[in-house]
Amino acid sequence: MHRRDVLQILAGTGIGAPALHRAISVMASRPDGLTAESLQQAEWITQIPLDETEREAILKAVNDHVRQFESLREIPLPATLGPALHFQTLAPPSNDPGVCRNARVRQRKIPCRPADDEELAFLPVTALSGLIRSRQISSLELTRLYLARLKKYSPMLRCTVTLTEELAEQQAKQADAEIQCGKYRGPLHGIPWGAKDLISVPGYPTTWGIPALRDQVLEETATVARQLEQAGAVLVAKLSLGALAMGDRWFGGMTRNPWNPRTGSSGSSAGSASATAAGLVGFSIGSETLGSITSPAKQCGVTGFRPTFGRVSRYGCMPLSWSMDKIGPICRSVEDCALVFDAIHGADPLDPTTANRPFAWPTPARCQGMKIGYQAANRNPERPRPELEILQQLGCQLVDLGPPPQFENYRALAKIIDIEGASVMDQMLRDGQTEGWNSWKNIFQSAQFISAIDYLRLQRLRSRLMQQFEDYIAPVDALVNVFEIFQTNLAGHPCVVLPREFSDARGGGKRPLPLTLTGHLNRDDQLLALAHAVQGKLTAHQQRPPLDDWLLQYEAGELDPKPAGNAEAKPEAKPDQSAKPDNQNGKPPAAKRDKK
């Protein structure tokens, strides 16, 4: 019997303390099980005396459950099977108005096709959709353009795990045929996109960024992929993520930031942000548990939108934390994010945390008179705040809210991710399939010793934090640059990140300076409207990284740091297997079932 199982049993008896429980669990996991003698040893270790009645109760409770737990472990549980308990935000229950997907581009003027393919590749969805609908370019032409760019720049950026070339050609041809016949599905019709490689697509690997699952091919289609297919979008690539949704390092190496490829793109939606910033896809989909959309969007200078928890289905996507995971778009503009969100939000019976909520784009929400909360600078209070100036120009009213409430040791609540993730990855951990897990192995091992009672205590304290943050944001319509990544992810609030400007980075390249807006639960359209208005005063999102200049340095082996000492760095292989997409020709490999 595993010691963790014993911990859960002992917690239910109400006898003793965690230290005693852990000592007993170690002994119960031995081949001879828990005996009266070993129980007395545990008392000596922990200095917690037990009377005869308590000893008998513990012995009976543990040994009676040994056989039950052993038989339960013989039942295979796929990692995607969640618990029967579901997290809910503090938002009122949905009245289920249904989903009306009728988003349209605000600007009705149809753009002209650029003469330069480089410029074409960096156009936002709002412009690309106009070019496709007016037949200035076909979906197949655009798809082949992005596939060519993926093949050219992915070895340097390490942002692509698998090209889905065969599927992309099929979907693009279908989109062109439908548009030719007058069957226009909306602004995403014919637009190539990339999926973070924790999103399941049949016929192609879904690797979760770790070597053990490099060939994992799942049968189900993730709801978000199915919804985008229904919207007419074209999947061109599965994009890299940090191992098991941590950071920017996966089995192909470190995903690079297009603005400075000597640095990583941050994570865990590393490839989604990198590919979007490099003009390798029209848009991408990422996921966030604790910063995995907003952080790489900030690092790579793109626009990322983390919706309210429960607005977008996670079915068919790798779970890390059932009560915190969120799916959202990473794009080149706020309006692109709104158009993508319109296609993917809504209730899904396969994800019981989802609900239908109203969303309209363009939204009637206006910035004039909006109250925006900010936090006055403690250092250099006289330093200009460009984001506040922009909001004032839009007619917003600024309200100094001060810092968010300092919940007692609220960072400890991030243990919720550790515990839920340890449950998801439990079988692989037991099987020793932990190669390339970054720091997850130690995190998940330590989480095994957190009792069920302590986990529920964390969730109860989370309820308190949620109410505190709701009280904090209540006086205003949104927050600007109030960095509350823990609170908003724990409470489920939506957030938009966009580039405000770029500064020179040390050692060359550019460093994006981001602007962050946080909104109220389920007022995603209001938040996007505000962010769109702010972005209308900026030009940073229209800038392009000098990829060809970086490519020359990559080919010369100059991007990676040189080793210590005077030894010259060896040129990086061009391209090596770890740096290029696993499946360059884009053909689906022979299907392999996930054995979990």
- Where in the sequence numbering do the catalytic residues fall? 196, 268, 292
> Are the C-beta atoms of 319 and 596 separated by less than 8 Å?
no
How wide is the angle at C-alpha 465 spanned by C-alphas 463 and 469, nearest 5°? 120
d(CA 82, CA 64): 27
HSE value, Cβ hemisphere, 13 Å, CA-based, for 464: 12
Kind and range of the H or E run holding 60? helix 52-72
Phi-psi region of 228 (alpha: psi -120 to 50; beta: other; left: phi over 0): alpha
Angle at 346 between CA 167 and CA 288, to 5 degrees: 75
Q: Which helix (H) or strand (E) holds 303?
A: strand 303-306
C-alpha pair distances (Å), 461 with each of 14, 24, 90, 410, 490: 21, 28, 14, 9, 11
Residue 546, C-beta contacts closer than 8 angstroms, at least 6 positions apart: none
* Closest to 418 in 3D by CA, of 443, 452, 449, 454: 443
List the one residue out of 237, 260, 265, 261 whose CA is nearest residue 250: 265
Residue 334 near residue 363 (C-beta atoms within 8 A): no
Q: Which two tokens stand for residue 164?
A: 């889905």
Instruction: Tell me: cis bond preceding 362? Omega within 30 of 0 counts.
Output: yes
